[in-house]
Amino acid sequence: MKVFLGGTVNGSKWRNIVKERLSIDYFDPVVDEWDNAAYERELSERRYCDYVLYVLTPKMTGYYAVSEVVDDSYKRPDRTIYCFLSEDGEEKMAPALINDFNDLGETVSRNGGMWLANLDEVISFLNSASSTKLVKDNCFFNAFICYGKQESESFAINIGNRLNDLGHSVFIDLNEIPIIIESEEYIYSKILRSDNFIYIISPNSVRSEYCKRELDFAIKFNKRIIPILHHELGSDNRLLDDIIAKKQIIDIKINNSHEQLSDLIKQVSRVINFDSKYVRRHTDYLFKARNWHFGGCLQADLLYGEDRKQAIEWLKNKSNSLSTLQIQINYIEACKRLSVFMIPLLSLNKRMTGLIHLKGFDQVAMLLSLLGPIAMMDQVQTLLCSEDSGRYLAISLPMWVLFSIINSSLILVSIKTKDLRLFISQVVSLVVSITIILIVLFKL
């Protein structure tokens, strides 16, 4: 989890206070030398950070930060945090400015952003949010909105806000920087996690290379597509995707009237709600299947218990909305063949999540894993210090040779899985085993 530290600069020390007490990662855009690279980095971090924090103080000059707060609270309300300090060092805000900043806070709140009273509240929220962010990162959406920015941005935002007001979860990309490899993967992950793909048709969208990529990706993974005609295409009609052209396009001439827009939202909402449980499972199993496939088809990533029963039952059912993909079929079939020995391990993993995901658990486990080879050191000490030749004859060389082979194979496994704990413990164990074998051979 990461937070972008935006707001007042000009010698203000609020960032130092926040950074010292945060238990999460952060990005501080303040640099000694401002150049194009710093600007591009700031844009990228604003896009990808989980939260964007704006702290305004009496040392603020200009109103650019104010416009950023309003803009982000409108476009990214779930990520925007606003706070103002009436005092900053020796400087204090005038009463009129405090009233203005209170009004700004109310605007941020109305837009859906978060207005916090002081730095203590900011730090407390961010540190506590880090424990729940994993759930948020893994959430799914009812719809992803694809649109041409030049002609349909306000229209798309309006649709997204209204659908969210109805209780739907809608993702809409409102960032300004062009698609690059990293952001493209980010967008694709949101499409994968969305049950429906709302495609807003306009000359700009059918010409856009980025909209084309998003649409092709949605079609490839069999997302339920909801096409909406926003602007007539005219001569650009030839650029409309053939698959979209064959679908039932929601065609309502929007002239910004409340009634027409409400009618449109009702139609879109009906499509989203239709067969929604099946479609959500389609999204869920597609996401899990891709993770399983690209993770090496490991049994650890398969479903078991009630989840496996539901997946098998889902595969048997048919829907007019969507058809299953081969990758989903392969995944669920693999779940059917899950080893009976793997099931208790997966069950224990789920039941012991509170323990095995404690902070510092891996470090403690690594230290404890060294107890095995350390315990074997007593055998080395005994062999080195003993003058009793009968003790050497009592040592089973085949057993220690077998231990050495086991240690060597586990070292290879640790290299393959990049498991540092297993690698260290088995290397130490192998050294001890070989030492014991050499001592016995030498003494004999």
Q: Does pLDDT of 91 surpass 80?
A: yes
Yes or no: say if 66 and 104 are a contact pair by the CB < 8 Å rule. yes
The pLDDT of residue 180 is 46
**Band (429; pLDDT cuts 50, 70, 90):** confident
Q: What residues contact residue 36 under an 8 Å CB cut-off, 6+ apart?
A: none
CATH architecture of 139-274: 3-Layer(aba) Sandwich (3.40)
Dihedral sign, CA of 24, 30, 32, 33? Answer: positive
pLDDT in tens, 218-276: 999 999 999 999 989 988 889 899 989 888 888 876 555 567 788 899 999 999 999 99
- pLDDT, mean of residues 26-54: 78
CATH code for 361-443? Answer: 1.20.1280.290
The matching CATH number, chosen from 3.40.1350, 1.10.8, 3.40.50, 1.20.120, for 2-133 is: 3.40.50
- Of the ranges 23-27, 233-237, 423-427, the best mean pLDDT one: 233-237
Q: Are both 2-133 and 361-443 of the same fold?
A: no
The pLDDT of residue 129 is 65
Buried b (16+ CB within 10 A) or exposed e, 62-82: eeebbebbbebbbbbbebbbb
Q: Does pLDDT of 405 surpass 80?
A: yes
Residue with token string 């894993």 = 369
In a 10 Å sphere around its CB, with 0-12 CB exposed, 13-18 middle and 19+ buried, how is residue 407 labelled?
A: buried
Q: What letter does residue 97 receive in the DSSP assignment? A: H
Q: Which amino acid type is present at position 163?
A: L
Q: Does pLDDT of 291 surpass 50?
A: yes
pLDDT in tens, 303-332: 888 899 999 999 998 777 788 999 999 999
Q: What letter does residue 75 receive in the DSSP assignment? A: H
Residue with token string 């609270």 = 73
The candidate with the shortest Cα–Cα distance to 408, out of 422, 380, 427, 387, is 427
Q: Which pTM does this prediction carry?
A: 0.57
Domain boundaries, the chain: 2-133, 139-274, 277-354, 361-443
Q: Does pLDDT of 392 surpass 60?
A: no
